[in-house]
């Protein structure tokens, strides 16, 4: 039997070895992960790690894309990795997705503290937010000419290059199941990036292979003609425009008819101006919530943001009239976010703005002035990726007037998919596969699943930024998507 002195010495030695291991681990993490965020102002205490910083890409790494990454709240080594993208084009995934919608830290006031999100998506996944392309948020380029070359193609290519480099910096996530999610104009970004990854994987060596499994997009820009038609139908069906204006738009603006190539008549332009004016005093992105009065005048003069295709109605002169008014339970959240990320102590903590940009941080870019390419439809991309076996969910908050549920339904219908039917005994007949889904015994929205692998989901009472308005339901939706589980079809099935 060992003496008490020897036992104490052994115990002390074990403690020393454990301390040394912990010290070495921390030093290793510090050297490998210089982007670890350790002192974010106002942050509540958490047990998960998060990182922020730049990844250089392109020729001589003249471009630098900013990211913010949150490990999953529990067992991150076992959870999938999800990249979140906001749209615009030109809007920040950090300012919207991370700080207002689904990240663990929400900016909810101009006060000193940020709020812990009880429905953060990092409860079920590792979350990566990317500001792309250059000129968005903290992302920048050393060549001003790059800002004049932006478009869908450049954004997809730069985001792909970012991912390859990011995985080299964080190799421990290389083998994780990888998904992409986003909203609005990310209806272009997400499938285009997914297609770039899919094509890259065909010729990729193991070191550059990305384990892409699928993607999910919300209130997504998909197909110009049907998106536009659905936008007008939504405004009319929700009593925002009159019968007369609705009839004039359908008659004079050829893009809203089946023969969409018919040129617009002389009455189209004034009718569309009246259409935009109908939304001038409400938030088109959430038609039933108040606007932020303190910033309403300033917002109404801003260039359009968080928007769909920049060629809306093919009337370039009308586009700036569709202004972005901050949305959410507190309609002034966007102002709080911009104030927070313009703080020098916040930027230092996030390893951001290291080059001292000549312009302030903004939720949507004020330096991107030209968008060079935006295909009229991404539906063929969706079709190709469905055929490749990727899981694709499209969801829609049904109080959004900008990319409304009518637009999404018209667009998905263009794909001529075959709806699944629930043949279980005792189940009521679902016309076209359309049924309610439930969360906490309440109807959370409606869903139709297609045999080809796509699911279309609505979220009842949610606006453009679904996680802002339906936080618990959006987390349930996200979790079911990741696990490939059918949304609850019974009131008492839970979520």
Catalytic residues: 184, 400, 464
Treating both helix axes as pointing N-terminal to C-terminal, what angle do 152-169 and 186-203 enclose, rounded to 10 degrees?
60
**What string of DSSP letters covers 210-234?**
--EEEEEEES---BHHHHHHHHHHH
The residue ranges of DSSP E strands in 20-102, in sequence order, are 50-57, 63-70, 81-85
What gap in Å lies between CA 115 and CA 108, rounded to an integer? 7
Cα 457 from Cα 396, distance rounded (Å): 6
Coil, helix or strand for 482?
Answer: helix
Which residues are bridge partners to 178 per DSSP? 81, 212
Instruction: Kindly give the pairing relationship between strand 126-131 and strand 63-70.
Output: antiparallel
Helix runs in 123-206, H state only: 152-169, 186-203
- Tokens coding 85: 């993208």
CB 384 within 8 A of CB 447: no
Output the CA torsion sign for 233, 237, 239, 243: positive
Measured CA distances, 430 to 370, 412, 419, 443 (Å): 46, 18, 10, 16
Q: Please tell me whether the peptide bond between 89 and the residue prior to it is cis, using omega within 30 degrees of 0.
A: yes
- Phi/psi of residue 463, nearest 5 degrees: -90, -160
Paired residues of 438 in beta bridges:
443
Instruction: List helix spans (H) across 342-418.
Output: 344-349, 379-387, 405-413
Q: Do the Cβ atoms of 167 and 173 come closer than 8 Å?
A: yes
Instruction: Give the contacts of 176 (CB within 8 A, at least 6 positions apart).
Output: 79, 80, 81, 126, 211
CA angle 391, 286, 295 (to 5 degrees): 125
How open is the CA angle 119-120-125, to the nearest 5 degrees? 125
Is there a contact between 87 and 189 (Cβ–Cβ < 8 Å)? yes
Contacts of 8 (CB under 8 A, 6+ apart): none
Residues in contact with 129: Cβ distance below 8 Å, sequence separation at least 6, in sequence order: 67, 68, 69, 83, 84, 93, 94, 97, 98, 103
């Amino acid at each position: 039997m060992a003496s008490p002195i020897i036992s104490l010495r052994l115990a002390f030695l074990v403690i020393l070895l454990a301390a040394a291991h912990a010290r070495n681990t921390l030093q290793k993490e510090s050297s490998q992960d210089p982007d670890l965020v350790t002192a974010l102002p106002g942050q509540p205490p958490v047990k998960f790690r998060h990182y922020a910083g730049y990844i250089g890409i392109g020729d001589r790494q003249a471009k630098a894309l900013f990211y913010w990454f949150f490990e999953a709240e529990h067992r991150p080594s076992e959870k999938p990795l999800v990249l979140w993208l906001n749209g615009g084009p030109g809007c920040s995934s950090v300012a919207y997705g991370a700080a207002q919608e689904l990240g663990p830290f929400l900016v909810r006031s101009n006060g000193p503290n940020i709020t812990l999100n009880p429905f953060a998506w990092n409860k079920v996944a590792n979350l990566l937010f990317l500001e792309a392309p250059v000129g968005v948020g903290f992302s920048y380029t050393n060549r001003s000419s790059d800002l004049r070359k932006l478009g869908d193609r450049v954004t997809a290519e730069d985001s792909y290059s970012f991912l390859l480099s990011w995985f080299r910096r964080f190799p421990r996530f290389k083998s994780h199941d990888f998904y992409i999610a986003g909203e609005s104009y990310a209806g272009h970004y997400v499938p285009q990036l997914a297609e770039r990854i899919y094509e890259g994987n065909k010729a990729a060596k193991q070191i550059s292979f990305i384990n892409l499994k699928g993607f999910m997009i919300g209130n997504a820009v998909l197909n110009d003609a049907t998106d536009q038609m659905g936008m007008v139908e939504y405004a009319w069906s929700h009593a925002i425009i009159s019968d007369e204006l609705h009839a004039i738009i359908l008659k004079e603006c050829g893009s809203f008819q089946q023969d969409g190539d018919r040129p617009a008549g002389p009455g189209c332009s004034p009718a569309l101006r009246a259409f935009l004016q109908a939304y001038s005093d409400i938030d088109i992105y959430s038609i039933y919530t108040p606007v932020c009065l303190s910033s309403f005048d300033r917002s109404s003069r801003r260039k359009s943001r968080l928007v769909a295709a920049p060629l809306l109605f093919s009337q370039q002169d009308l586009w700036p009239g569709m202004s972005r008014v901050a949305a959410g339970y507190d309609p002034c959240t966007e102002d709080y976010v911009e104030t927070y990320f313009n703080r020098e102590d916040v930027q230092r903590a996030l390893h951001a703005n290291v080059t001292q940009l000549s312009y302030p941080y903004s939720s949507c870019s004020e330096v991107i002035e030209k968008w060079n390419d935006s295909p009229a439809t991404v539906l063929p991309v969706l079709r190709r990726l469905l055929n490749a076996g990727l899981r694709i969910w499209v969801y829609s908050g049904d109080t959004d007037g900008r990319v409304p549920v009518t637009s999404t339904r018209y667009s998905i219908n263009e794909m001529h998919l075959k709806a699944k039917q629930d043949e279980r005994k005792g189940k009521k007949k679902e016309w076209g596969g359309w049924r309610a889904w439930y969360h906490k015994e309440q109807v959370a929205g409606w869903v139709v699943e297609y045999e080809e692998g796509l699911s279309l989901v609505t979220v009842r009472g949610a606006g453009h930024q679904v996680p802002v308005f339906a936080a618990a339901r959006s987390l349930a939706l996200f979790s079911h998507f990741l696990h490939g589980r059918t949304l609850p079809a019974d009131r008492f099935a839970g979520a």
